[in-house]
Amino acid sequence: MSGYHTRPKADEDLVEGARWIRADNPPAARRFLDAAFDAFDRLAEFPESGPLARFKNRKLAAVRFSVLPPPFNRWLIFYRITGKQVEIIRVIYGTQNWRGKPDSFFI
C-alpha cells in the first residue's frame, strides 16, 4: 500500500473528537490525534487487518473497521481499501448508533 487519505467527514470526526476530549483533558486530545494517525499508518501498512463491517447495503460491502488502541479503544475507524490506498471514511465514538442507520454515517 502507498498510504492513506481521509475523507472530509473523517477529518471533521477527528476535529470534533479532539475538541470533545480537550474539554476534560487537553493533553489527551493531542494523544488521541497521535493515536488516530498512528492507526491510519498501520492500516495503510496492513489494510486487511480490520474485519469487514458487514453492512446490508451493497455500497458499504467493502467497509472495514478497526479500534483505536487504549485508552481510546471506544473509538472506531471505518475505512475501505481503494486501489493502492486506504480511504479513512469515519472515526466515531463507538456508542453512536452507526449500525442502526449506516447510510447516514457512511454514504
Please state the domain extents for the chain: 4-106
Q: Which residue has the higher pLDDT, 74 or 99?
A: 74
- 81: Cβ contacts below 8 Å, ≥ 6 apart: 1, 47, 48, 62, 64, 87
Q: What are the DSSP E strand ranges found in 15-106?
A: 64-67, 75-82, 85-93
Tens digit of pLDDT for each residue in 38-63?
999 999 999 999 999 988 888 898 99
Task: Quote the distance between the C-alpha of residue 48 and its chain's center.
Answer: 14
Q: Which three cell numbers stand for residue 48?
A: 486487511
Angle of helix 26-45 versus helix 8-24 axis, rounded to 10 = 150
Tens digit of pLDDT for each residue in 5-44?
999 999 999 999 999 999 999 999 999 999 999 999 999 9
Q: In the structure, what pLDDT confidence band is assigned to residue 1 with cuts at 50, 70 and 90? A: low
CATH code for 4-106?
A: 3.30.2310.20
